[in-house]
Every structure is written in structure tokens, then in C-alpha cells.
Amino acid sequence: MSAQSALLLATLSLAACSAAEIPTPERVPAPAAAPAPAAAAPSASAAAPATASAAAPAPAVPRDPNVDKLQIAAQVDSRAYDMVRSLVDEVGPRLAGSLGDKAAVAWALRTMKEKGLENVRAEKVMVPHWERGPESGRILAPHGHTLAITALGGSVGTPGKGLEGEIVMVESLDAMAAMDEAKVKGKIVFFSAAMTRTKDGSGYGKVAGIRHRGAVAAAKKGAIGVLLRSLGTDHDRLPHTGAMAYEKDVPKIPAAAISVPDAELLERLVGQGKPVRVSFSLGAKLLPDAESANVIGEVKGREKPDEIVLIGAHLDAWDLGRGAIDDGAGCAAVVEAARLVLGLGARPRRTIRVVLFANEENGLRGAFAYAKDHAAELDKHQLALEIDLGAGRAHTTRFLIDEASRPLAERIASLVTPLGLQYDKGPAHGGADLIPLRAAAVPLVDLHQDATNYFDVHHTANDTLDKVTKEDLDQVVGAVATVAWAAADAPETFARVPEALRKR
Ligand SMILES: [Zn+2]
């Protein structure tokens, strides 16, 4: 039997059979009437919002048949991969403010409507509009070599025909701060720190500050430009872009990333002790802010429609690649999860809200606009998650919650263990777009994905559809759908996150 006919058979039997017949190893006997009666639900409008009690053990709740339906549908009927393909092929690069960004907003509105989501709308966000322009670079001495180079997002362009100068190599921001100004003045600072490959992506966090703040640190010592060893774990001759920032009253100097092999060559040349000279030219420019949008669609709740479980991803993507893993995969996972919930024929108590955020990559304007536009209802956000670590399988569930809500979190986490996710007591960090929600005490959940290979292509021209594996993406869809459904349908309400736990 071909894999396709097996899938078709499974799909047909899913559609035809009752929940009690769904064959999963984790099933427990289905209750006569599912799910738990609404009368058991504490009222969210009570003066003191009810929360899961830390003292009470998790109730022995029969497994919800809707969870099984969602997990099977994610395996046999997911359209997430086709959605990424549509975004990648029909829109492609979509950096904030660009024509691709506008096309992405139109794509998201069209796609959410096609998938049957409710209250689909675009909420306007003004975003920075930065353009890369032509760029090139060369090692001039001790001998010539063309660099694989790209501007960091937000960098100023180089003046005239470009910059030329001697390299001064530095490994970290601390080392930069300790440098003697006389050794840096008039030179091009090369940040040489290497990123380490890790399953949880933590290697990125250790060096991301250099990309963000390196130009300011170097300019404070009189440097004329910055080159950065790409924040990537590959050895391709492709540079990794990413956001950087300037500071008021510090000269704005051009900053670019070079590919890892070029950075290693530069490091060896500097190590020989002779002067190393490079030149580079960046045509980057910052234009006036442009209009973009957060695109939102919902599955309306049956009992508490004003309470929200937010499942998000970011719609924008860097201009070098096609934005397949960052973050086309995340967009598809959350939209598809909502579509599968709509296909259940049952509604959760609360509303599931899909948010595709604008401008995550170089400004987080969409995230802050969402928090501002929805300030009055943030205390009604039951739980929020963002999928923004590629298209790898999810392996760990973590929550950022008040301890009083631990039993509820553990119950939700137990529902995704059949998909291969372990429960870790946390805390969750939330995606970058959830930073303002975290500050507003909204409970968060991470479905941590395998990021082992993510930073090989992250922010490069290699972020293309072939890096997405359908089976892995569908596993993420199943996990998102399960967690969204379970949090939205839970009788209990998550307590707000205490201030001491909100710091990142
Ligand atoms: Zn991303």
C-alpha cells in the first residue's frame, strides 16, 4: 500500500468513526458525554478569578476525545506544508515595509479566510522601512579575497565608494569595552566570536548581543565600521543578516556580517601578525516608516468568547531568503492548528486567536502594537504561545505561570506527551513577539523545537522550502492544536504571572 493510500484510508476512517473508535495507544475509555460539564467551570467574572489550586492534585480527567481527533488530523490531514509552500512561492521575502510585506499581509488575510477562520482582519502597524541595496567586500591585504558579505538590518550605508581600513579583531563586547581607543580609532572592528550548535538554540543567545550592540561599542572607541562573523552554525559561504541598533549620540557606523569561512580566514590572517586591510561597500538606507499590519483570525469560544488563547508567529521575513523556516513554518503551524480546531465540530470554551505579527525581525513593532491595541483585554488572555524556532519537531513543553496554575499546566503538557514532547517545569521564555504580553503578566507556554540545524540557514539566502520537512511540521501543528484547544477549553483559568517571574 502506498503511503498516500494509507493516509487516505486513515483520513476517511477519522471522518467516519466516532471518537471512541480512534485507535491511539494513549487512549483511556471515553466518557459517555465529553468534555467535562460546563457547570464545573469556575466563573472568570467572579470578583476573585478562580485558578487551579496548588494544593489540589490534578483531577483524574478522562482524556478529551477532541484531543485525539486533533492529533490524528494533524498527522493525516494537515495542510501546513502546502501553506508554507504558498507563502514561500507566492510571496517570498517580506521584510517590514517592503512590497513583499504588503503581499504577505494580503496573503495572510486571504489564507485565513480560505481556512474558515473567523473575525479575520488586518490591524495597522507602522513599521521601519529599511532597504539593503547592493553590497560587496574584499580583503585587500595581505592578499586579495572577495568576501561573502551582507549588511546587518538597520545599518547605515557606507559613504562614497565604500570604507577601507585596517582590521582590529575583537571577540566579545567586554573585550571591546576594554580596548584602548588608540588601537581602534580609524579602523574596522571585526567581531570574531563563533556560535555553538545546540539543540535548544541557546548558542544564538550567547552571541546575539554582539550583532545588536557591536556597532555602538566599536563606534564609541572611534571605529569606522564593523564586520561580524555570521551568527550561524554552518560553513557555507553565505552571510547571516539580522537586526542591529544604534544609540543616540554615538556615531552611526556601517555594520555587516561575513560568512563563517570568510571570518575564519580573516581570523587566521590576523593571527599571522601582519596588518590586514579590507574594504566594503553597503548601499543600505532607511526610508520613512511604512504601513504594515498584524493579521488576526479566530475560532470563537462557545462560553467565554472574550477570553483568549493566543497562538502566534511572525509574518515578516528577511530579504535574503524566502522565509520558509523563519517564520513561514510558524505561520502555517498556527493557522493550520486553528483550521483543525474548526474541523472538530465542537468549540472550545474560550476563543483561540491566531496572530501573525508584523516586523518581528527588525523592530517588534507588531508585538508592541498588539499589546497597545489590546491593552484592555490582556488580562483576559488565558495563555499565549509563539512558534518561531524553525520547522523542527517540538520536544519540550514549558510554561511561565503562577505556581497555583501548575496542575492545569501539567494536565495540558500531558496531552502532548504522545507526540513526543517532554514536560519541563520551565520557565517558558515565549517568542520575541510575546515580550510585551509577558510584561503584562500573560501566562506563556513554549513548545520548544529542535533547533540543532536551524542556525545553519537562519537569516540567510538558504532559508528556502526544502528545509521544511512535512512530518516534522505536522508534529508541531498537532502540538499547537492540542495545547490551544486544551487551554481554551479548560474549566480553570490560569492565574496571572507574578512580577518576579516575568523578567527574561
Ligand atoms: Zn523568526
Residues 191-206: what's their mean pLDDT? Answer: 96
**Does the pLDDT of residue 47 top 50, yes or no?**
no
**Does the pLDDT of residue 30 top 50, yes or no?**
no
**Does the pLDDT of residue 46 top 90, yes or no?**
no
CA of 233 to the centre of ligand 1 (A): 16
Q: What percent of the chain has pLDDT over 70?
A: 88
**pTM of full prediction above 0.85:** yes
What pLDDT, on the 0 to 100 scale, is given for residue 499?
95
Spatial distance between the Cα atoms of 127 and 389, rounded to a whole number of angstroms: 23
CA of 143 to the centre of ligand 1 (A): 38
Residues 298-308: what's their mean pLDDT? Answer: 98
CA of 354 to the centre of ligand 1 (A): 16
What pLDDT, on the 0 to 100 scale, is given for residue 61?
58
Q: Is 114 helix (H, G, I), strand (E, B) or coil?
A: helix
**Does the pLDDT of residue 326 top 70, yes or no?**
yes
pLDDT band at 45 (very low <50, low <70, confident <90, very high): very low
Contact yes or no for 489/36 (Cβ under 8 A): no
Residues 280-284: what's their mean pLDDT? Answer: 98
Q: Is 30 exposed, middle or buried (0-12, 13-18, 19+ CB in 10 A)?
A: middle
**Does the pLDDT of residue 8 top 90, yes or no?**
no
What pLDDT, on the 0 to 100 scale, is given for residue 9?
34
User: What average pLDDT is seen over the chain?
Assistant: 90
**Does the pLDDT of residue 128 top 80, yes or no?**
yes
More confident residue, 161 or 316: 316
Q: Which of 306-310, 482-486, 498-502 has the lowest mean pLDDT?
A: 498-502
Q: What are the pLDDT digits (tens) for 412-449?
A: 999 999 999 999 998 999 999 999 999 999 999 999 99
In angstroms, how far is the first alpha carbon of the chain from the final one? 50
Contact yes or no for 308/350 (Cβ under 8 A): yes
CA of 319 to the centre of ligand 1 (A): 13
360 is annotated as an active-site residue: yes
CA of 101 to the centre of ligand 1 (A): 15
Residues 281-304: what's their mean pLDDT? Answer: 98
CA of 321 to the centre of ligand 1 (A): 13
CA of 87 to the centre of ligand 1 (A): 15
CA of 255 to the centre of ligand 1 (A): 21
Of 158, 139, 278, 130, nearest to 215 (Cα)? 158
Annotate 28-77 with DSSP letters as a single string.
-PPPSS-S--GGGSPPTTSSS-----SSSPPP-PPPPHHHHHHHHHHHHS
Q: What are the pLDDT digits (tens) for 455-491?
A: 999 999 999 999 999 999 999 999 999 999 999 999 9
Q: What are the pLDDT digits (tens) for 357-368?
A: 999 999 999 999
**Does the pLDDT of residue 60 top 90, yes or no?**
no
Residues 307-326: what's their mean pLDDT? Answer: 98
List 307, 336, 360, 492, catalytic entry = 360
Spatial distance between the Cα atoms of 504 and 501, rounded to a whole number of angstroms: 8
pLDDT band at 52 (very low <50, low <70, confident <90, very high): very low
More confident residue, 54 or 120: 120
**Does the pLDDT of residue 290 top 80, yes or no?**
yes
The count of other CB atoms within 10 Å of the CB of residue 351 is 23
Q: What are the pLDDT digits (tens) for 336-346?
A: 999 999 999 99
Q: Is 56 exposed, middle or buried (0-12, 13-18, 19+ CB in 10 A)?
A: exposed
CA of 142 to the centre of ligand 1 (A): 38
Q: What are the pLDDT digits (tens) for 222-260?
A: 999 999 999 999 999 999 999 999 999 999 999 999 999
Look up cell 572592528; give the residue: 189
pLDDT band at 209 (very low <50, low <70, confident <90, very high): very high
Spatial distance between the Cα atoms of 245 and 255, rounded to a whole number of angstroms: 10
Residues 69-87: what's their mean pLDDT? Answer: 98
Phi/psi region, residue 265 (left: phi>0; alpha: psi -120 to 50; beta: rest), is alpha
What pLDDT, on the 0 to 100 scale, is given for residue 27?
33
